[in-house]
Structure formats: C-alpha cells, structure tokens
C-alpha cells in the first residue's frame, strides 16, 4: 500500500474472564453472542470483516456467523491453505484442551484431504495446564519449551509431517528452528490472511 501505510484496524478486546466461563461450560452458543457483540462494535466502526486470533473460540463460529453483521476469516482455513501449499498431508494439532478435543481443525482439514491428530489425554492435560497456568501469565520456562518439542517428536513418530501451533501463546515459547517438525503458526497465518483480504 506504499511506505508507512497499512489497512486500518479496529479492535474489540473482551477480558478473557468473560469468555472462559462459556468455554469451560462448553456453551459455544453463549460465547457466540459475546463475539457477535464485538463484531457489531467493529462493524459500526467501519470494519469490512473480522478475525479472531483465538483458536478455541472458533468452536462458536457455527452460531456466530449467522448473526454477525460482517464476515469472519477462519483461522483453521488459513492453516489448511498453508498446509496444502507446502504439501503437508498429516498434521499434529496443539492448543487448549478444548481446541484439541473439538472439531475446529479436523473439519476444515478434511476438506483439504489433510489428516490430523492430537496428543494423548495426559499430554493434552499438561499442554492445557502450560497454556493457562504459564503462557497466558507471561511465564516461559525451558522445561515447557522442551516439552512441546517432545510432543512434536511423538507426532513425527506417528506419521505427522508438520505441527499446528493452534493457540495464540504457543509461538511465544516454541522455536521453529529447534522443533522436530515444521510448525504452522496459526496466529501469524491468520494475520497474513487478513492482510491479503484487506488488500483485495
């Protein structure tokens, strides 16, 4: 768009506490209502479309999209398109327990004929604990970083050719140059998709 220029961005940031009560209850319809209110705010400010960098919240999209005044880009769609571009066929998905056990990635990846899998139950619990007790609080430990590498190694042994960093905070601790598998940073990919959409 030229030097010192970029698309205009309007943001609505709701406290995590407002969302988590619905996430913990699995009440995606109620969460969609909260997200829809954010959509109305940015639409009134002139936004043409919206994005949500939180992977887990995408489980509310089936209820959100019909009531939203503007369209939304889907984070798993951005990841699937990048995976397809690189020829990845089998992805390991990391994120909150709610995301890993949900259908956000599985449903979208299947449309691209890309297989996916998640860690076993014990690993899902530990990953969830690292996210909520460490990463969202700005705590980044070497033990946790190496643990994510261990999970990537397990994915590799189970036939995965890349790993989805399906949580906004995971890229803060995982180093792509030190991970056994190629990484797909969902937040960054969604941001790039938003730039592309805004420039169209």
pLDDT tens-digit series, residues 157-196: 999 999 999 999 999 999 999 999 999 999 999 999 999 9
Q: pLDDT tens digits, residue range 15-74?
A: 888 889 999 999 999 999 999 999 999 999 999 999 999 999 999 999 999 999 999 999
Determine the average pLDDT of the residues in 4-20.
88
Dump pLDDT digits (tens) for 119-130.
999 999 999 999
Write out the DSSP string of 73-89: --HHHHHHHHHHHHT--
Predicted confidence at residue 1, as pLDDT, reads 74
The b/e string for 6-33 (b: 16+ C-beta within 10 A; e otherwise) is: eeeeeeeeeeeeebeebbeeeebeebbe
Distance CA 196, CA 183 (A): 21
Walk me through the domains of the chain, giving residue ranges and CATH numbers.
16-72 (no CATH), 75-189 (3.40.50.1860)
User: What is the per-residue pLDDT for 9?
Assistant: 87
Enter the pTM of the model.
0.92
Question: 200 falls in which pLDDT band (50, 70, 90)?
Answer: confident
Between the alpha carbon of residue 129 and those of residues 116, 168, 174, the distances in Å are 22, 15, 16
């Amino acid at each position: 768009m030229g030097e010192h220029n970029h698309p205009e961005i309007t943001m609505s940031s709701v406290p995590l506490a407002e969302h988590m009560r619905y996430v913990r209850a699995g009440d995606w319809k109620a969460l969609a209502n909260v997200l829809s209110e954010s959509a109305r705010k940015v639409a009134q400010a002139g936004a043409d479309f919206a994005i949500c960098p939180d992977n887990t919240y995408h489980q509310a999209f089936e209820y959100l999209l019909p009531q939203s005044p503007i369209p939304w880009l889907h984070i798993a769609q951005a990841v699937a398109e990048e995976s397809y571009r690189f020829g990845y066929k089998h992805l390991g998905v990391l994120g909150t327990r709610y995301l890993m056990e949900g259908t956000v990635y599985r449903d979208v990846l299947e449309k691209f004929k890309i297989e996916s899998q998640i860690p076993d139950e014990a690993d899902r619990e530990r990953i969830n604990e690292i996210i909520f007790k460490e990463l969202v609080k700005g705590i980044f430990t070497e033990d946790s970083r190496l643990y994510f590498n261990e999970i990537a190694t397990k994915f590799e042994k189970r036939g995965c050719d890349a790993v989805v960093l399906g949580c906004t905070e995971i890229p803060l601790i995982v180093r792509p140059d030190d991970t056994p598998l190629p990484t797909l940073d969902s937040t960054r990919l969604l941001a790039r998709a938003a730039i592309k959409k805004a420039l169209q």
